[in-house]
Amino acid sequence: MLRVLLARLAQGHRTIGFPDAPPALPDRLRGAPALDPTRCPDGCRACVEACPTGAIALDAGAGTAGSGLALDLGRCLFCPDCVEACPEGAIKYTPEYRLATRAREDLIVHGTLERLAGALDAKMRGLFGRSLKLRQVSAGGCNACEADVNVLNTVVFDLGRFGIQFVASPRHADGLLITGPVTANMRLALIKTWEAVPPPKLVIAVGACAISGGPYVDHPEAANGAGSVLPVDLFIPGCPPHPVTILDGLLRLLGRIEGDRRDQG
Amino acid sequence: MSVGDGWLGLRNGQATSLSRLPLSPFAEWRSALLAAVGEGMRIAALFAVPVAPGGAADTHEVIAVLASEEEGLLHVGRGLLAGRTYAALTPACPQAHLFERELAEQAGLTPEGHPWLKPVRFPPAGAAGGAAAQIGVTDFYRVGGEEVHEVAVGPVHAGVIEPGHFRFQCHGERVFHLEISLGYQHRGVERALAGGPDKRTLHYVETLAGDTTIGHAWAYVQAVEALAGAKIPARAQVLRGVALELERLANHTGDLGALAGDVGFLPTASYCGRLRGDWLNLTALLCGNRFGRGLLRPGGVGFDLDPARADRLVPALDAALADVTGAVSLLWETPSVQARFEDTGTVGAAAAAEVGLVGPAARASGLVRDVRHHFPTGIYRFAQVPVITADTGDVFARAQVRWLEIERSAEFVRAQVRALPAGALRAPLGPAAPDALVVSLVEGWRGEICHVAVTDGAGRFRAYKVVDPSFHNWTGLALSLRGQQISDFPLCNKSFNLSYCGFDL
């Protein structure tokens, strides 16, 4: 017993200050990509061709300011392929970790991410604002998104302090947090789990697979994400998203973090 | 030990032209395989490819990779099978049983006399492979009798965990038999890898089993580098080793915490949960992603560990190791934890060898198997990592092997980071050799990762076979439950901690 107490003393206090303090993130974190279409050489399609998931679209406006290059964060694997392919440095990753949106189309960025996730309406916030129970369903997830969702339960992130908890039974849940592209073999189990959640209920899609199918987009063995099976209330992109990105998304949904990036500086 | 003339001995990561690889009559290939396994070799991979275009219709080359730890060689043989049936290997060679079920499902070949011929992944209609089966619908093994009851768990489990189905045959609390039926995570990876490499290939392998991003990505890049005849810069080789051991550190630490959690010992569970993240953050320090996405690139690595970064990594590693040491020591010092770990979920050495276990699970049962030691490539040819074994084969042994491997891996990372060779990070990669084969093994944190690439006349993948360590080890978990209390299932399960998606592909 004494040893347990001594170990406790040695381990110290480890919960991060986020959201009151900015999170400590790796300096090489590939967060929100920033696009600068003015750098695009005429007719260059290097990034489009390099992207493994077809996340980048280029139209005739490329090479002029403010249009042309569009990147779908829902498809983006945040991999270095486009950055390495671009001859002019028109795409670069920023350390911006705030990525969650309420609408699928808000994930398509032309320069930088414009509209971050807003809070639920007053009624839903009244129900879930201080107590949100989620059932996690992995439907073809590779266990990276799952692991970095699970890590929110550790003392580092201490999800419980926000009243958010993962529960075992869908009947005790207020919503589903889905990872993976939704494999054909998990489709029925996912739908049954969703049906077992009492309304009103939420669906949160975490990671490129759950938003768009990720690397598995258009595979006959899987759907193109949770949205092709269920209505999604919150999209948290990444491959996998950093735990702080997931936490930021959840707290925005509950109105615990407000304002877009301009307000936050 | 030898397999005979019809087989070709290859080193790990050594490509060969298919013209050098004998194509034996099936019966000859079959008896050579059985004899070699009888002598102590084990099946690392077994799969079928249709004969090259222009060959006879409905004829397959069945390719086996037999690992010989004794020689440090991988013996590859292929048998030419006309028609769709053959006499099953499994009755004489139990470790072939899942491979043969896979042959039936993927290639439509029927191993006659197979005692347990059931679907492996239930590929859905519209996808490649055998006839579509409905997921989870199969003839589960049942024990009869009024006092026997059945417990079904999954696919959706209680925790934040991947899906799978477990079916227990119980007498009271005692488990007679556990049947594991997977396939829920099946994403069609192997089907999609064929025809590559292309721009998605690296992302498929990085997400084969996301907690083993470095392990699977290394197996892949090693395969394509061998096929292209590339020479990888020393600095990249070392950084790959550092990343692989960081992946092992993170997962072993997480597993020890989860084992503590499953016996209700919360201090270690809580500390290790945090510390697992500290290891992941070191991988992120290196490449920006906690799971190592983007770090390994064909030809080398995508990120450097500059001196300033190394100066941050080493103290962080020392601090994490000190905290893990403190947290894990509590496990060994607490009698109530030891009482739950010891004699729980035992798999003896003979059974482990018979079903072909790999990784920490095999080593905990006393089998000396470690790719880094027996089939070393890259930095492991120069910096040897001792093989850690235990002999009791129980949860305690699987926990202890992990802990000792944490110590060795931390030592390895510290030494390698301090002695990083100078030089380039990447070498240019030419096209893959046509009509060639390569076997690429990596000792991931769960055990042996095996990738086999077979190219066509244009250097594209005619077949790309993936064997995650979980493919071997799920059977070990089933065996560990024999005669156990059903309430020990979470503990036994965590002591293996196998991949669902790595198995389901």
Q: CA end-to-end span of chain B, whole Å?
A: 33
ipTM: 0.94
Q: B205 in contact with A at a CB cutoff of 8 Å? A: no
**For residue range B275-306, what is the model confidence (pLDDT) as tens digits?**
999 999 999 999 999 999 999 999 999 999 99
Confidence of residue B136 (pLDDT cuts 50, 70, 90): confident
What does the block give as tokens for B145?
């009798």
| Residues of chain A contacting B288 with CB distance shorter than 8 Å | 26, 28-30, 93
Q: How confident is the model at residue A263 (pLDDT cuts 50, 70, 90)?
A: very low
Give the pLDDT mean for B151-176: 93
Which residues, other chains included, contact A263 with Cβ-Cβ below 8 Å and sequence gap of 6+?
A: none
Q: Give CATH for domain A33-93.
A: 3.30.70.3270
Contact A78 B185 (CB under 8 A): no
Query: How many CB atoms lie under 10 A from the CB of residue A264?
Result: 12
Show residues of chain A in contact with B327, CB under 8 Å. 7, 11
Q: Is A122-264 the same fold as A33-93?
A: no
How much is the average pLDDT of A97-108?
95
Contacts 24+ apart (CB under 8 A), A60-66: A61/A37, A62/A37, A63/A37, A63/A38, A64/A37, A64/A38, A65/A37, A65/A38, A66/A37, A66/A110, A66/A111
Nearest CA in chain A to B209: A142
Q: What is the dihedral of CA A5, A6, A8, A12, to 10 degrees?
A: 140
Residue-wise pLDDT for A104-124, tens only, equals: 999 999 877 788 999 999 999
The residue among A183, A191, A217, A245 with the most chain B CBs within 10 A of its CB, best to mutate, is A183
Among residues of chain A, what percentage have pLDDT more than 70? 95
A168 vs chain B: nearest CA distance in angstroms? 4
Query: Residue B160 has what pLDDT?
Result: 87
Residue A87 has pLDDT above 60, yes or no: yes
Please check whether residue A225 is in contact with residue A213, taking contact to mean a CB–CB distance below 8 angstroms. Answer: yes
C-alpha distances (whole Å) from B467 to each of A86, B44, B504 are 35, 8, 10
Domain ranges of chain A: 33-93, 122-264
Phi, psi of A108 (to 5 degrees): -90, 110
Interface test with A, best of B160, B186, B265 (most A CBs within 10 A): B160
Q: Does B145 touch chain A (CB under 8 A)?
A: no
Using the Cβ of B490 and the Cβ atoms of chain A, whether some distance falls under 8 Å is answered with no
Contact status, residue A212 vs residue A53, Cβ threshold 8 Å: yes
For residues B304 and B421, what is the distance between their CA atoms, to the nearest angstrom? 12
Give residue-wise pLDDT tens across range A66-78.
Answer: 457 899 999 999 9
What is the arithmetic mean of pLDDT over B87-102? Answer: 97
Whole-number Å distance between alpha carbons of B187 and B499: 14
Distance CA A50, CA A65 (A): 22
* Cα distance between the two ends of chain A: 47
Closest CA–CA distance from residue B425 to any residue of chain A (Å): 14
pLDDT bracket for residue B133 (50, 70, 90): confident
Q: How far is B134 from chain A (nearest CA, A)?
A: 8
Predicted confidence (pLDDT) per residue in B21-32, tens digit: 999 999 999 999
Q: Does A50 touch chain B (CB under 8 A)?
A: yes
Q: Which two tokens stand for residue A168?
A: 């075992």
Task: Inform me whether the pLDDT recorded for A63 exceeds 80.
Answer: no
Report which residue type is found at B482.
R
Q: Please say whether the beta carbons of B275 and B324 come within 8 A.
A: yes
Angle at B223 between CA B221 and CA B228, to 5 degrees: 90
Looking at chain B, the whole-number percentage of residues with pLDDT higher than 70 is 97
Write the pLDDT tens digit of every residue in B224-269. Answer: 999 999 999 999 999 999 999 999 999 999 999 999 999 999 999 9
CA distance linking residue B485 with residue B494, whole number of Å:
15
Cβ-Cβ contacts under 8 Å for B256 (sequence gap 6 or more): B268, B272, B324, B327, B328, B331, B399, B402, B403, B406
Q: Return d(Cα B305, Cα B309) in angstroms, integer.
A: 6
Q: For residue A1, name the pLDDT band (cuts at 50, 70, 90).
A: confident
Contact A147 B499 (CB under 8 A): no
Q: Which helix (H) or strand (E) holds B350?
A: helix B349-355
Contact of A102 with A254, CB cutoff 8 Å = no
Which chain A residue shows the shortest CA-CA distance from B284? A26
pLDDT of residue A265: 35
CATH T-level assignment (fold) for domain A122-264? Rossmann fold (3.40.50)
Tens of pLDDT, residues A15-34: 999 999 999 999 999 999 99
- Helix (H), strand (E) at residue B76: strand B73-82
| pLDDT of res. B53 | 67
A217-256 residues touching B, CB cutoff 8 A: 219-222, 239-240, 242-243
**Cβ-nearest to A50 among B186, B187, B199:** B199
Residues of A in contact with B326 (CB under 8 A): 7, 10-11
Is CATH 3.30.870.10 correct for B234-295+307-418? Answer: no
A89 CB burial (10 A radius; 0-12, 13-18, 19+): exposed
Q: Which residue has the tokens 């290196």?
A: B286
**Residue B200 touches chain A, beta carbons under 8 Å:** yes
